[in-house]
Every structure is written in structure tokens, then in C-alpha cells.
Structure 1
Amino acid sequence: MNQFVKLTFTPGLKEVVLQELKEYILISESEHTISIELPNNFQNILSLKSINSAYIATSDKKYNPRYLHKHKSILGNLIEKVIIKKEKEFKTFKIRCAGSQTQEIIEIEKYIQETYTIKKNDVADLEIYINKIGDDWEISVRLSPRPLSVRDYKISNIKGGLNPNIAYAINTFCNLKNSTSYLNIFSGSGTLLIEAGLVNPHVKLVGLDIDKKTNSLAIQNIKKAGLIKIIKIKTGDIFESPDVEKFDVITSNLPFGMQISKGEDLKKLYQQFIDYSEKVLYSKGRLVVYTTEYEILELILKNSKFEIVKKLNLKIPTNVNSYLYPRIFVCDLI
């Protein structure tokens, strides 16, 4: 049985993902998935930061539900590789496939419950997919009880908060290993700061946000991440040009949509953000910004002291058949 690891990621971040996977042997890739050869162990896979979820998988033209019903060990072999020595982490399971109420799937579910003593549940630790992809049927089992994009430090969230894997991707363009200072404006729940601190705890990390309540939530996350001694959160309004010294790097998840106060002028806010960034960034410093209001931002950047060196177009699902299309702008102060 030919087995491999299938990785899912946010469309638009492929170059970041490929860089993180440079030590692995690639089998295939698409807009939002990459398949790699099965490694000797999964520990390094489970530590990947740019990935949404990781699965052990196998595929064949004959692996339809009827065939699997008669050859349950094919699925059982995948399940055992996932849960071995980690049985306590996997208490529930869910099979996701078309025709999930067929007798064959019901019998497979019964086999899993009896063999591995785990319960069926819609929100499951052990996620199993049976999908027709092209001419083949693919079986995949998620390697972790939760997606890899879920971080243990995220105990406090805010509406519009940044996904940790996207925060990781943003930070890959910040040259963190050669930087000494990093400012995150509109720091929110602290995700960008935490992901930066996990990469290089020797960088001076400062977050700036106007909302005291949001800052207290960020501090909770920072404490959980074990970075409270190296990340400083400041309360301040960029329209008042708070004094925060100068920095090598500035990042921001710019407010948009529901994050914007009623009646707030987005163009004015973005213009002030760019003006303030020009003031507190060192010459030739790096600015990396994430926003869905990219047309407003790009127009302001073109009339600023920044040069856009890279743009990444992302596609993020919000619910069934609905997406956000944010962009990441990588800029240098010239």
C-alpha cells in the first residue's frame, strides 16, 4: 500500500510552505495541498508552522467505500499509525465522505468503534476522509487531534484575529534572524508577536494597540506562550504618534470590516498608519502588512516612501462557498 503525507495550506502561501518543506521529498502539489513522501516519524511534520492540517493518506482506483468495507485493514493501518502511543488524545472520530449514510460506511464506523474504542462525533479528534480525486479514491487520516494551525497559546481570541499560520507566513518575510527590533501595530491578540518570538526570542518585540481590553487578552496569550519576559505591549493611538523609538521591522494585520468602528475613515486610518510607519522604521527597514482592503492600501503605498517588493494574494474560506481575499504586502523603506 503506497502511503504519503498530505498537507493543506492557505491558497496564496505556497512559496512559504515550500520553503518550510525544503528538507522533504515532494510528490505533488496544487493550489492548497502538497503531498510528500512518508517520513520515518511524524514529529517534525506536527511541528510545521505554515500548514493548516496534515494527513497520512493512500490512494488507489479501487479504494471506494464498498471495497474498504471488505478490506477494513487498509483504513485500519492508517489509523494505527496515527494513534499509536497517543490513544488518549484520540477519543472521537468522524468519517467525511459523500454517501456517509450508506451501509458500507455505517459498517466501517462500527469497525472503528469496536476496534479502537473511540466514539463517533461530528467534532472529532480523529478525522477520516474518503474522497474521489480524479480517477482515484483517496483515504486520509488527520495526524493530530486538531489542525496544525491551532496553537495552544491561543486562549483568548478577538473578532478578526489573525490565523497563526498566516502570522507565521508574514513573519517569514521579516528577516527575523538578522533583526534586532520588531513593532506590531494594531497588535490585537498578539499572534504576530508570539509567532515572531517563537522564531527569534532575542528580538526586541513591541506591540501597539489602542484598546486596553484587547491588550489584556494579548498578554494572556503571551503568558501562555511563555514569552511574557520578551514581548512588551503598549497602549497607544497612532494618530497621537506615540513614542516607541525606531525598529528594523514593522508588521500589521490592518483593521477592516467588522474591526472598524462605525463611521471610521479607513483611508485616513491607513494613511496615518503608513505615515507613522515611515517615522518609526529605520532606513531600509521592512514593513509587512496584511489586509483585505488592499486597493486602499496599495494606492497609499504608491505615494509613500515605501517600495512594494512582493504581494501575496490569499484565499481564505469563511463558510460554505464564501471566501475572503486578503493580500500580504512586503515593503522596504527607501
Structure 2
Amino acid sequence: MSQEGSRMAVQGRGRKQNPVTFYLRTLLYTFIGLLLRLAAFLPLSALFVFEEGSALRFLALLCPLLIALLILPLRFSFAQALVQKRRQRYFSFDTALNLSRYGEKVAEGLWHAVNVLKWAIPLAAVLLGGYLFQKFNDIGKLFGGISQLGKTAGNVYGAVVNFFRSIFGMEKLEIAGGLGEGLVAIGVVVMLCVLVLAIGVMRNSAYRYVWVLASEQEKNPHTEARRRLRSRRWEQLLAALCNLVLLLPPMLVVAATFKGMLADLSPMLLLTMSSGAPELSGFASALWPMVFSFFCLYVPLLPVRRCVTAYYATRTLKHIAPEHRPEEASATENAGESAQQILPQ
């Protein structure tokens, strides 16, 4: 950032915005961030626009480069703009879009991404297994495999239920699994993997705000993160639950949309099996509710969720003693020795 931009940012820090202005400026930057992310993913369209074998398809490689070199550093710049000093409330676009300390932000962004992605390994393994299974099997074997999975899941579920029913002297149930039970079993496995990923996101979500605080205080960010987060997992869970409550409105719309889609699932499967091509008309009807949920319910609440996480990460901790700095101790000792020399004996 230029010296003029730095001067403007410092001047802005001296002013205090009212909560509505602060929220609206943060929301505006949220839309700017969405546009930047859209631009970063735009090179992936080369895989669909150009024919197979064309050298222009390699333009898709720009996507991970743009994410690593632009999007990830800007996430830390946004954290710098959002973290406020005491009795200050000013969101600066100059700070949120600056690329000062660029190398450090790139390194921290990549390190943060690795820490989150390792929690996505179970989900990636399940999705890869499902993709390979449907790729190397025809539609009949695909549905046959899902039905067999449903029978196995039904047998396991029936064995568990009948065990507890037998304890209370109740009759055993006959549970016949099929295609529906197989789809439910796949959904449960995917949701468990998503839950693992969500836990990883929760554990790492506060790091960039701690990085800002540690940088301002000239501390090691990784040490400060361990110091602030490791002993406060219950508080972190509470912050995550607050963010989950703010996610409920768009999640309810998505759930209602997919509930309507599941009602038409059987006719869609029959059409798919008879034609041999995926029937996607039911999914097209869910597009507009999803768009409404994203732009009208998810994005407007996103700044509030970020503020909740930033407050949790940077608030003053009374139960943790401040770090002992050797240079401060030596300075205090030198001052004491000087005072003893000046004072009369």
C-alpha cells in the first residue's frame, strides 16, 4: 500500500463509525470479496469451453494460483480491517485490500489452508470412491450397489434395534433394506464427513484474527494462537454455535428445497434408469431458492459471523498472564541500577 493509502487508513482509524455504517461497509467488502473469488475460479471455465486436447485448457491452472497468491492473502488483510483496537470502530477498505507484508500473508494463508484441508480427507475419500464407482459401472450396477448397501445398512440397524427390543421382551422387527435405505446410508456417511470438516474449520477459523493481534504486539502468531485457543475450546464451541444460529435461516431454506426434491426422487430415478441419462429437471427447480438463500440470507449475516469470531479470538484474557519478555525485564533491571546510582547512599 502506498504512503498516501497508509496515511488515509491511519486517519480513518481515528474516526469512529456508527454500527450501521460499520456493518454496511463490511457487507460491501463481502460482495467485493465474492467478486474476487468468482474471478479466481473463472479460469476453470476453460475446462468446459475449449475442446479436449487444446492447450488453452491449461488456463484452468490459474485458478489455484490466484487462490494462493490473491484470495488467501486478502483474507488476512480483511482480518486486519476487522480487528479493532479498544474504543475504535472503523472498517477501512484501504486496510482490507492492502497487500503489505505480502510474503508473510501468503505463507500464513497456505499454512492455514493446509490445516483446514487435512480435515477434509475423509470427505474427499468418500467422494472419490463414489465417483470411481459410478465411473466404472453402468447405471444398473450403480443402483444395484446402492440397494445392496441399503440391505447391509438395514441388517445392521435391525440387529441393533432388535438387541434393545429383546432386552425389554419385545418382538423382533424385520427390516428390509433397499435403494432408499442405501441412499440414506450414503447421506449419513457424507454428513459425518462434513461434520469432521466443520470441526476442522471451527478449530482454525480464529487464527487469522489472532495473527493480526500478535503482529501488532510483535509476538509469534503460532505461539499466541496456542496460548489463546488451546485452553478455550468451550468458548470456541460457543462462538461456533452462535455462528450456527446465524446460519439457520439459509439452512432452513436449503432443507425445505431439498425436501421437495426428495418427494420427486423416485420418478427421477425411474426416468434415469429408462433413458440411461441423468434426469436433472427436479434440480433445476431448486436453483432460485438456493440463489435467494445465498444472497438474501447467507451473505447479509456473514459480516456478523466474522465479527463474532474476531471478538472471540482477540478479546482480553484475564485468566492468562501476559507473556514475559526478556528485553523488557533487562530494561527494567537497567533502569533500577541507574536509579540506585543516582540516589544518594
Structure 1 length normalisation: TM-score? 0.23
Of the two structures, which has the highest relative contact order with CA contacts closer than 8 Å and spacing of 6 or more? 2
Q: Which is greater in Rg?
A: 2
Which has the larger helix fraction? 2
Structure 2 length normalisation: TM-score? 0.22
Which has the larger strand fraction? 1
